[in-house]
Homo-oligomer: A and B are copies of this chain.
Amino acid sequence: YGKNTIKFLRLHKEGKKHFVKEVEVCTHLRLTSAQEYLEGNNSLVIPTDTIKNIVLVLAKKNGIPSLEQFAIDICNHFMTTFCQVMYVKTYVQEVPWQRLHENGVPHIHSFICVPDGIRFCEAEQCRNGPLIVFAGIKDLKLMKTTQSGFEGFYKNEHTTLPERHDRILCGELFCKWSYGECKDFDFDCIWNKIRECILEAFSGPPDCGEYSASYQKTVNCIQMLVLSKVSQVQVIEVVLNNTFYNVLDMKNLGLTNDKEVLIPVEAPYGSCACTLGRKKFFEA
């Protein structure tokens, strides 16, 4: 297969107001042929330069109404234009530009980059198969300073971890979900709703939180809430890359440390993932 990544900015105006979308688009093609590998015959090869041009032309002509619609447009273009394309996948990721506000007033042409979770989507299609759309959020860093523990786990001679009922839960979330038949979805609205579900399931009620018995349980809570609140989601995958914080032992410095000073274990050395669908769940 061949793969091509292009980053660009799409600007448009409504009256004096400016709108900006900066995206990174990665397009993946697999051809029906193998002669370019075996014989160096390039007659069916679509150069990455052409792929790039097509993405830019579509952006110019259609704009980027939503990341998902743009990915769908690209897939459709390749499938209908090139009969040698057997499979196409398009990944679109957004640079998180947000409109600046001054004392609550939105600015007509100034933006600030706020990377608190990156939005992305994917559309893929095999020749003669359905077009499938995924969307997701990544690099979303969250922390709970209490209401988290890990107890009652399996123990043997290699176990050194103590049981804890009040630890820090911190990690970087990756969530990706698939839509079923995508007819006229308001992708922006759904995405924002799912983001809210994730934050709510992670943190619990604002006045007291909700106890998490493990990273696994938190992952499951997120999946359950999204599936129950957002009917368009068919399957949801959640990966939580943990950052562990150890309460520093300060006894040899003559101090008792009551979960006040904690040291992050820099290398994110744990990760927990699960994929959950509508009917019967399956682990991944």
A contact set with B: CB distance below 8 Å: 1-12, 16, 18, 20, 22, 30-31, 34, 36-38, 40-50, 52-54, 56-57, 59-61, 81-82, 84, 97, 100-102, 105-116, 140-147, 150-154, 156-161, 168, 199-200, 202-209, 212-214, 216-217, 219-220, 242, 245, 248, 250, 252-255, 257, 259-264, 266-274, 281-284
Contact = CB atoms under 8 A, between A and B. Distances in A.
In the complex, the count of this chain's copies comes to 4
Given A47-B161, A82-B154, 9 more contacts: A3-B273, A7-B264, A37-B219, A40-B216, A42-B152, A46-B154, A105-B207, A109-B209, A113-B143
Nearest to A114: B116
Contacts of A34: 281-283
A83 B209 CA distance: 35
B108 A60 contact: no
B47 A274 contact: no
A145 B20 contact: yes
A1 B273 contact: yes
A11 B113 contact: no
